[in-house]
């Protein structure tokens, strides 16, 4: 028996006209899109970030959609900047005519830690949140000024 005769529309597998191949590609694209932007590591959500180092210091942009500034914690401990945020949502639907009730809940914790490549000016760190994007600016600490000192040289 020729198996090609069982394929719809008599086209080869993987062809652009093969409905099963098209469905598989569409499902793969859907799962890629679903996971884009957030990865899960050790039980925590890891948001997408852009980190750039400038002459002034470090600039971090983190995508935190659906959150409010009150949900976000930033902490500097030594040379490690920690970003932590709690997310949670509830969607509820009811239809008394059809007798169904649906509640969908999701909850998670975003967590990212950044090792600073320089000493930071702790008092100068700023953070702003606009349209789901957190922007953190970490300026470099100014090196401590040490006065110069004349050193005497002893000789024989």
Encode pLDDT of 86-109 as tens digits.
Answer: 887 666 677 777 676 766 666 788
Residue 111's CB is within 10 A of a number of other CB atoms, namely: 17
Q: Mean pLDDT, to the nearest integer, of 5-29?
A: 66
CA angle, residues 133, 86, 127, in degrees to nearest 5? 35
Do 76 and 131 share a domain, yes or no? yes
115 in the same domain as 95: yes
The pTM score is: 0.59
Same domain, 134 and 78: yes
Which residue did the predictor score with more confidence, 92 or 66? 66
Using 50, 70 and 90 to split pLDDT, how confident is the model at 20? confident
pLDDT of residue 123: 93
Question: pLDDT tens for residues 106-148?
Answer: 678 889 999 999 999 999 999 999 999 999 999 999 887 878 8
Per DSSP, the three-state class of 9 is helix
pLDDT at position 51, please? 95
Q: Residue 33's domain spans which residues?
A: 9-38
Dihedral (CA of 32, 67, 133, 142) sign: negative
**Number of domains making up the chain:** 2
126's enclosing H/E stretch is strand 126-130
């Amino acid at each position: 028996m020729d198996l090609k005769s069982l394929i719809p529309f008599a086209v080869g597998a993987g062809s652009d006209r093969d409905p099963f191949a098209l469905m598989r590609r569409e499902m793969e694209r859907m799962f890629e899109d679903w996971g884009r932007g957030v990865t899960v590591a050790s039980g925590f959500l890891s948001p997408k970030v852009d980190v750039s180092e400038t002459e002034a210091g470090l600039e971090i942009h983190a995508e935190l959609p659906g959150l409010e500034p009150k949900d976000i914690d930033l902490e500097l401990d030594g040379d490690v900047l920690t970003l932590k945020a709690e997310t949670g949502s509830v969607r509820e639907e009811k239809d008394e005519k059809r007798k169904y009730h649906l509640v969908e809940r999701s909850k998670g914790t975003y967590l990212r830690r950044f090792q600073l490549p320089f000493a930071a000016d702790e008092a100068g760190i700023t953070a702003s949140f606009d349209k789901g994007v957190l922007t953190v600016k970490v300026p470099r600490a100014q090196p401590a000024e040490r006065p110069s000192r004349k050193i005497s040289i002893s000789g024989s």
